[in-house]
């Protein structure tokens, strides 16, 4: 089996316990053999000259991305148009039609009926509830897709999108295709705990947040 190799540059900030892995998406004989993908499942890794980077923030536990939200507020205050979507967070009953504006330029949206409003056992034992959560989360993903293709934003943050993939609410290939065809001047930031290798290969930067 032939494997593609991707160059990995590793930097560890001991003080903040953040590990950053940056990928150049260029292959050479001297690259580190860190991530391998079968040639039977190749991804179109075309580069987007007019787009910003794809950044992935990975952590072993949920609720560890407060620094990303802080950065998004700062960017909005500096005049950049930012979209922050928390796909799996709940408790404020937002939904697409009840988005909140912060700093004039940041749009913050959560699902109208979300995973975090209930415990996992309650969801699994109630098919009606499970269907409602999946439908509202998928509706939010469709909104995100349109925004990624619209060219209207300077930065888009899709918080815990990998959990939505793990729960089979969002299709991994649908996310990959949308990212390949995205139209956005700034960066797309994706967060989660269990990240598919296909998405790791697409990323320009991977940051691991350590506890």
Query: How high does pLDDT run on average in the chain?
Result: 77
- Whether residue 123 has pLDDT greater than 70: yes
The reply to whether the predicted model has a pTM over 0.85 is no
Which residue(s) pair with 156 in the sheet?
A: 83, 188
pLDDT tens digits for 179-206? 999 998 899 999 988 899 999 999 999 9
For 66: left if phi > 0, alpha if psi spans -120 to 50, otherwise beta; the answer is alpha
Which pLDDT score, from 0 to 100, does residue 13 have?
A: 44
Q: At how many degrees (to 10) do helices 172-180 and 127-150 cross?
A: 10
């Amino acid at each position: 089996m032939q494997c593609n190799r991707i160059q990995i540059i590793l930097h560890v900030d001991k003080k903040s316990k953040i590990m950053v892995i940056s990928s150049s998406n260029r292959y050479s004989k001297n690259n580190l053999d860190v991530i391998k993908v079968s040639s039977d499942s190749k991804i179109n890794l075309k580069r987007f000259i007019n787009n910003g980077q794809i950044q992935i923030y990975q952590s072993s536990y949920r609720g560890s991305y407060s620094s990303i939200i802080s950065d998004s507020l700062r960017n909005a205050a500096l005049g950049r148009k930012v979209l922050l979507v928390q796909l799996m967070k709940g408790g404020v009953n937002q939904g697409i039609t009840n988005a909140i504006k912060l700093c004039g330029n940041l749009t913050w949206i959560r699902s109208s009926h979300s995973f975090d409003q209930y415990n996992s056992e309650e969801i699994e034992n109630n098919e009606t509830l499970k269907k409602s959560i999946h439908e509202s989360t998928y509706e939010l993903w469709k909104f995100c897709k349109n925004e990624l293709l619209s060219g209207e934003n300077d930065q888009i943050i899709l918080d815990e999108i990998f959990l939505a993939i793990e729960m089979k609410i969002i299709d991994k290939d649908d996310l990959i295709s949308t990212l390949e065809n995205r139209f956005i001047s700034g960066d797309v930031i994706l967060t989660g705990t269990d990240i598919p290798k296909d998405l790791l290969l697409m990323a320009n930067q991977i940051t691991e947040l350590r506890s």
